[in-house]
Structure 1
Amino acid sequence: MAAASETPVLDTIAAMTIDSVERCHMDERTLIVVRLAALVAMDASAISYLAHVDPAIKADFTVEQLQDLLVAVAPVVGTARVMSAAGHIAQAFDVALALAESEAEAMAQAEADRRKSS
């Protein structure tokens, strides 16, 4: 049995994602398109999109391609789901930016502290 964790749900989701990526033979861009389309279809929450921000950026996924994805799935999933997805995606990017800024500030502070003590 695996050791207890403070974040068992997140650990399980991460493990499932890693396993899925390892077993999938799609290129990164196709994989991100498929996953985002599935999230739109399911009316996923912003936190679900947040997990895909970094992989989308690493795959050079552009805003225009994201818009194309939403246009492509709109006739299938409906306008309400597409508009909901657009809002959730915006929220996910806002959180990702806030996290990146916080991390950058922490790194700058650590560097400043290191210089003071030198």
Structure 2
Amino acid sequence: MTMAEEENPVSDALLEITSASLERCNLEPREMMLARIAALAAVDAPPASYLLNAGPAADVGITLEDVQGLLIAVAPIVGTPRVVAAASNLTMALGFAIGIEAAAATEAEAEG
């Protein structure tokens, strides 16, 4: 099957890469998600990247306080601009996620 024939070649590739990372990583799930969030801050990731990791992070018990502590810890390494951008991008991602949940709840109420 060629990439043109695949329905979601980019998301499929990202899923494969993530699966391989999970299979080969010896970190506990919580530690791995903290490392991923730190890496997102380090590379100035966009809100969508944080959004894709928000669910798995919450699933392993990562809290807002954990993320704040993580950003404080990496600030001397990645720099103030990256930490400020990460905080902003996280806020946008969380706002988007809350908006999606609210829309789904409204739709469910309308159907029920």
The answer to whether the aligner puts 1:6 opposite 2:28 as a matched pair is no
Determine whether 1:22 maps to 2:16.
no
Counterparts of 2:20 and 2:89 in 1: how far apart (Å)? 26
CA distance in structure 2 between the partners assigned to 1:87 and 1:63 by the alignment: 13
Partner of 2:72: 71
CA shift for structure 1 position 44: 0.7
TM-score where L is the length of structure 2: 0.89
Task: Work out the CA distance in 1 between the residues paired with 2:106 and 2:93.
Answer: 20
Q: CA deviation at 1:2?
A: 6.3
Per-residue deviation, 1:6: 2.9
For residue 40 of structure 2, what is the amino acid of its counterpart?
Answer: L
Per-residue CA deviation, residues 14-48 of structure 1 (Å, 9 max, x unaligned), is: 22112211221211110111000111110111111
Q: Which residue of 2 aligns with 1:32?
A: 33
Larger radius of gyration: 1
Distance 1:2 1:109, change over 3 A: farther
* Structure 1 length-normalised TM: 0.85
2:97 is aligned to 96
Match of 2:77, as an amino acid? V
Aligned residues between the structures: 111
Q: Structure 2: which 5+ residue stretches go unaligned?
A: none
Q: How many Å separate the matches in 1 of 2:110 and 2:7?
A: 27
- Sort the Cα spacing of 1:23 and 1:107 in 2 relative to 1 into closer, same or farther, 3 A: farther
Q: Aligned letter for 1:86? A: A
